Amino acid sequence: MTEVWQNQIRRALLALAPIALALGFTGGILVLAGAPPLLTYEKLIMGSLGTAVKRADVLVIWVSLATCAAGLLVTFTAGQWNIGVEGQIVLGAIFATWAGRVLLEQPGAVAIPAMVGWGLVGGAFWGLLVGLLKIYGRVHEIFGGLGLNFVATALNIYLIFGPWKQRTGGTLSGTTIFPESLWLPTLPGLRLSILSIVIALVIVSAVSLSLRGTVWGLQLKAVGQNIRSAYILGLPTQRLMLSAFIVCGACAGLVGAYLVVGVHHRLVPSISSGYGFLSILIVLLSGFRALWTAPIALFFAAVNIGSTALQLDLQLDASLGGVLQSAIVLAVVLMQGVRERYLDARARPS
């Protein structure tokens, strides 16, 4: 009995160790910057959960992170590093804005679905390009994606300061704001749309189910584990890989469209806000388990909102939130290694 308990305690400690490590590391950074760590952590929590508006804002970010993470899960399952996800968000936003500009006079019920649909297409197209470059150009997906991120940024800046500039001239604030009829309806007094939450939940569940319970998901897993074996077994590896990039790109494009239709109501220069990269961290932290990505995304969204409060309350730069997020992921990844190498090895009889 005692041995069981010892094991339980040991496992709990091991699970908590990375969090403690990350909090300790970030605390050290805070001391270095001359800020009180405990007060900072308190503000971080209150700043994200203190009021209804804050809690709604957390959910607004959660929609983007959870959707994007679901898509990334697909490419990770296929063994691909889709760093181009940032560019795929941007392209989704650009396509959605384009659709909105064309359908400016139409009622929202026509224009909004069209904007979202075109966002999906834009992201999927940009994702497909990464896959095509990988398969036919022999460009590692990290560099193809990276290159396309830069192209997407350049295109976005070009549109904002060029053809789509405001009548008063191109500014960093973005394109002209869309009329309210083209905004995604939100809860009164909040920026949150129930519909967006529902869609995100549907996507997360759909990805989770199809990766676990469909032939496609199983085949993707085979490609991700060992592409040569998968090929020899007769799987259409190239088509599977492309399908993963298309699905992930579509999810990212949806996020881009959501940021235009539901959040900013216009195209802005840094429309992706780093959500794509953040989602990669979320998937890494989840250990590639779909059901874990949603709650982790919620935590990350809360840290994002909480860290903006730090700027107002303690004059601390909001980038602290990003340090904390990535420190936790790094600590978890390293601790897994430590456990495998030093602790499990000792437990095993030799």
Partner 1 sequence: MSVFLATLASILSDSAPIVFAGLGETLNERAGVINLSVEGTMLLSAMTGFAVAYTTGSLVLGFAAAAAVGALVALIVAFGSITLKRDQVAIGFILTLMLGELSSFLGVPFVRVPGPAVQPLPIPVLKDLPILGPLLFNQDPVTYLSFSLILVMWWWFYKTQPGLKLRGVGERPEAAFARGVNVKLQRYLYTLIGGALIGLGGAAYSLHVKLGWSHRHTAGFGWIALAIVIFGGWDPLKVTLGAYLFGGLRALATTLQALVPGLPVQVFPLLPFPLMILTLILFNSEALDRVLSLLPPRWQRALMGILRSNPPAALGTHFEP
Name the residues that contact partner 1, by CB under 8 A.
29, 32-33, 81, 83, 133, 136-140, 142-144, 146-148, 150-151, 153-154, 157-158, 161-162, 165, 170, 277-278, 280-281, 284, 316-317, 319-323, 325-327, 329-330, 333-334, 336-338, 340-341
Provide, rounded to whole angstroms, the least separation between the CB of residue 271 and partner 1: 15
Q: Which is nearer to partner 1, 209 or 333 (CB)?
A: 333
Rounded to 5°, the CA angle 261-267-270 comes to 115
DSSP 177-223: PPPGGGSPP--TTSS--HHHHHHHHHHHHHHHHHHHHSHHHHHHHHH
Give the residue with the Cβ less far from partner 1, 1 or 347: 347
What is the amino acid identity at position 52? A
Please, which residue, 54 or 140, has the CB nearer to partner 1? 140
The residues near 37 (Cβ < 8 Å, ≥ 6 apart) are: 26, 27, 30, 31
Task: Tally Cβ neighbours within 10 Å of residue 238.
Answer: 16
Query: Cβ 309 to partner 1, closest distance in Å?
Result: 15
Of the pair 5, 136, the CB lying nearest partner 1 is at: 136
Contact 172, 269 (CB under 8 A): yes
The H or E element spanning position 335 is helix 319-338
Instruction: Please say which residue, 47 or 170, places its beta carbon nearer to partner 1.
Output: 170
For residue 162, the minimal CB distance to partner 1 (Å) is: 5
To partner 1, the closest distance from the beta carbon of 349 in angstroms equals 20
Nearest CA to 130 among 105, 147, 115, 116?
Answer: 147
Q: Which of 254, 252, 270 is nearest to 262 (CA)?
A: 254
- Least separation in angstroms between residue 87's CB and partner 1 is 10
CB of 282 to partner 1, least distance (A): 12
- Rounded CA gap, 243 and 124, in Å? 10
Nearest distance, CB of residue 161 and partner 1, angstroms: 4
Distance CA 303, CA 310 (A): 10
Which of 209/340 has CB closer to partner 1?
A: 340
Between residues 125 and 161, which has the closer beta carbon with respect to partner 1? 161
